[in-house]
Amino acid sequence: MGRRVWANFRSRPTGLLSGAICVYKDMQMRPKGADAARWRKQKFDWLRRFQIPAEALPGSLSLTHRRCGKENCCCVQGDTHPLWQLTFMVDGKKRVERIPEEGVDEVRRRVEEGREFKRAVAEVFAANAELLVLERRQRRR
């Protein structure tokens, strides 16, 4: 047994969702009470706040120092050259990409965007888990 839910979605920058979409959803018990309302509010606040950022990057940006290997360079004496690197995982494999000095600010901004999105997803998952626990507790009564 189910019910139809009609939802209007605002057009997102990617253009993936727009217009009215009919979603068929099984009827299920929604947890009630102040705790459930608080978790639902927190969940939907996060969902409204974040869309998938198109330019976000995973991983971390770090500054390391290297020697270039030239015999007459100052790095032979220990004054090494700064080198920015973006470290991330793809298909379970670690990748490290060198970032030129002029691109560091842009990459830093994009990595932070990715972290914020990841935190938002974790918050939504936590709210969903708490709502599931509340629902199961209320069913036992």
What are the pLDDT digits (tens) for 60-105?
999 999 988 888 888 888 889 999 999 999 889 999 999 999 999 9
What residue type is assigned to position 20 of the chain?
A
Strands (E), 29-103: 60-66, 81-90, 93-99
Look at residue 50 and give its three-state secondary structure: coil
- For the whole model, what pTM was predicted? 0.62
Question: Which DSSP helix (H) or strand (E) runs through 2?
Answer: strand 2-9
Q: In the chain, what percentage of residues exceed pLDDT 70?
A: 79
Reading the block at residue 135, the tokens are 């629902």
C-beta separation of 118 from 53 below 8 A: no
Q: Return d(Cα 131, Cα 125) in angstroms, integer.
A: 10
